[in-house]
Amino acid sequence: QQQVKQSPQSLIVQKGGISIINCAYENTAFDYFPWYQQFPGKGPALLIAIRPDVSEKKEGRFTISFNKSAKQFSLHIMDSQPGDSATYFCAASRRGGADGLTFGKGTHLIIQP
């Protein structure tokens, strides 16, 4: 049972555009939702995270939108740059993140110059 579904699998965006990646979860016990960025040969790096008591969180060019009733959350990358080209993973956890993470399958993002 895939508990976190991520889409699209791959995404191509022009430089300066907005990249949008979506995730949906099934387990209502999840209460911590981070996004990770992974470059080839590197481990995942935490980008931004949200808890269900807020509907949006912004850090620089990265924004998470959260819809608790729909059990969906998304990552928006504003003014996308070639350096943002990477694989992005959404994840979910219980107990405020103290439990291990359940990851989506990832989105391979390419920003074209």
For the bound state, the minimum distance from the C-beta of residue 101 to another protein, rounded and expressed in Å, comes to: 6
109 scored as a contact of another protein (CB under 8 A): no
Give residue for tokens 């996004």: 35
30 scored as a contact of another protein (CB under 8 A): no
Q: Is residue 78 a contact partner of residue 20, using CB atoms and an 8 Å limit?
A: no
92 scored as a contact of another protein (CB under 8 A): no
Which structure tokens are listed for 42?
Answer: 């590197």
32 scored as a contact of another protein (CB under 8 A): yes
Phi, psi (degrees; rounded to nearest 5) at 9: -75, -35
44 scored as a contact of another protein (CB under 8 A): yes
